[in-house]
Amino acid sequence: MNGAVRQYLIITGNYWAFTLTDGALRMLVVLYFHQLGYSPLQIAFLFLFYELFGVVTNLVGGWLGARIGLNRTMNIGLALQIVALSMLALPSAYLTIPWVMAAQALSGIAKDLNKMSAKSAIKQLVPENADSALFKWVALLTGSKNTLKGVGFFLGGALLAWLGFQGAVTAMAAALLIVWVSSLLLLKKELGKASYKPKFREIFSKNDAVNRLSAARFFLFGARDIWFVIALPVFLSETLSWGEESTGAFMALWIIGYGIIQASSPKLLNNKHHSPGRNRAVTLASLLTIVPATIATLLYLDAEPTWVIMIGLALFALIFALNSAVHSYLIVSYAKADGVSLDVGFYYMANAMGRLIGTLLSGALFQWAGLGVAGLVSCLVGSAAMILMTAVLSRKLPS
């Protein structure tokens, strides 16, 4: 087997295993702490450190990956996730808000070290100027990851019902331990290490294209999480009276479909020989703005919420997945080859910051607007406004 392909498969396997536990843990925390009587805003704060430390990790992790190699940052991420899961395996009486936030902080660091390492490594494995191949490899890695994150959502809901919270996190920690040991043995030692020792001040990108794309990414992912992370699962559970497994399954199917679309984006966008650029990013963001605005309008007019949300989410998944795939390709394309993780880390810092703001707004707007339909509508209006900013910023990308 070709060495680059072998390394790609190892990286993808690591990323897949990690993503399963990440998606499952997110659903476990939302559903379990909702069961314990936590308000939407309190649940949002449980994710505060997860997202906040993701911001810091992407900045520092990109610099660290360039200095010590992406194999090491990926393995550190796997190890930290095992520690985070183990912290949550304690009896419920010990799961105070500060303790859970600390565990979520470790999980956030782990997730972004793992993701940054995987995305950056592709730049090292694909030949220079092979833009079409780069788009396909990035789309496959990102799409398959999101599909498995959806499986993780379902897994989280199912494990909570079958094993309970503590049993679920213990089982995931044990499975990830096996993956971590395999990764230590198989991953190439110097993957992604820069030919020079980048200074710490280089964590901030000096590349205009990377900066503009990062700003667009901030608003794109804030627009997703402002209604998807807290408001939607609580709305399905409370207002529509869905059970834990039904809520987990529905969220899982959405993420799985989103991942399949993302992995298929080179075919769906008809990019057999050409890679997507600025115009495609602007068009997709403009179309996506219409979706949450329309869902909010229909819910405000008392349309039947179940069908409005299901159809609206399907459309949102299609356009959002294509838009995200274009962004994921563009950052790897824009990034410089030597020390690629510096630019990729900065970009995913903006991604994490968008998720952080979106998560906090999801809990805050949903609760302050009065929960139920009114709360979800307020989150959807915020989503439409943030996607509009993505479209505006995308117009400033290089042609």
Provide DSSP, 25-49.
Answer: HHHHHHHHHHHTT--HHHHHHHTHH
Residue range(s) defining the domain that contains residue 241: 3-394
The alpha carbon dihedral of 18, 105, 231, 351 has a sign of: negative
CA dihedral 355, 330, 18, 232 (to 10 degrees): 30
Angle at 246 between CA 30 and CA 82, to 5 degrees: 40
The domain total for the chain is 1
Rounded Cα distance, 134 and 273, in Å: 11
Instruction: Quote the pLDDT of residue 274.
Output: 62
The alpha carbon dihedral of 39, 227, 150, 115 has a sign of: negative
Angle at 210 between CA 206 and CA 214, to 5 degrees: 120
Instruction: Quote the pLDDT of residue 338.
Output: 60
CA distances from 63 to 69, 75, 166, 197, 210 (A): 10, 16, 35, 9, 16
Residue type, 169: V
Instruction: Quote the pLDDT of residue 160.
Output: 86
Helices (H), the chain: 3-35, 40-46, 48-68, 70-87, 97-125, 131-186, 208-228, 231-238, 244-263, 265-268, 278-300, 305-334, 340-368, 372-394
Placement of tokens 């939607």 in the chain? 232
Residue 87 lies in a domain: yes
Residue 115 lies in a domain: yes
33 and 43 in contact (C-beta within 8 Å)? yes
pLDDT (tens place) for every residue of the chain, 399 residues total: 456 667 777 877 888 888 888 888 888 888 888 788 887 777 777 877 887 887 888 777 777 777 777 778 888 989 999 999 999 998 888 888 888 888 988 988 888 888 777 777 776 666 666 666 777 777 777 777 778 877 887 788 788 888 888 999 999 999 999 999 988 887 766 665 555 565 656 566 567 888 899 999 999 999 999 988 888 888 888 888 887 667 777 877 887 888 888 888 888 887 555 667 788 999 999 999 999 999 999 999 989 999 999 999 999 999 999 999 899 888 877 876 665 667 777 888 888 889 889 988 988 898 888 778 899 999 999 999 999 999 999 998 887
User: Which of 387, 368, 390, 383 lies closest to 296, judged by CA?
Assistant: 383
Q: Is the pTM of this model over 0.85?
A: no
CA dihedral 74, 80, 81, 87 (to 10 degrees): 180
Rounded Cα distance, 274 and 285, in Å: 20
Residue 399 lies in a domain: no
Instruction: Quote the pLDDT of residue 300.
Output: 92
Rounded Cα distance, 238 and 243, in Å: 9
> Residue 327 maps to which CATH number?
1.20.1250.20
Instruction: Quote the pLDDT of residue 394.
Output: 93
Who contacts 39 (Cβ-Cβ below 8 Å, separation ≥6)? 363, 367
User: Which of 313, 312, 328 lies closest to 139, judged by CA?
Assistant: 328
Instruction: Quote the pLDDT of residue 197.
Output: 60
Residue 382 lies in a domain: yes
Rounded Cα distance, 183 and 181, in Å: 5
Instruction: Quote the pLDDT of residue 14.
Output: 83
Who contacts 221 (Cβ-Cβ below 8 Å, separation ≥6)? 351, 354, 355, 358
Instruction: Quote the pLDDT of residue 198.
Output: 59
CA–chain centroid gap for 95, Å, is: 25
Instruction: Quote the pLDDT of residue 124.
Output: 65
CA dihedral 201, 203, 205, 206 (to 10 degrees): 20
Residue 324 lies in a domain: yes
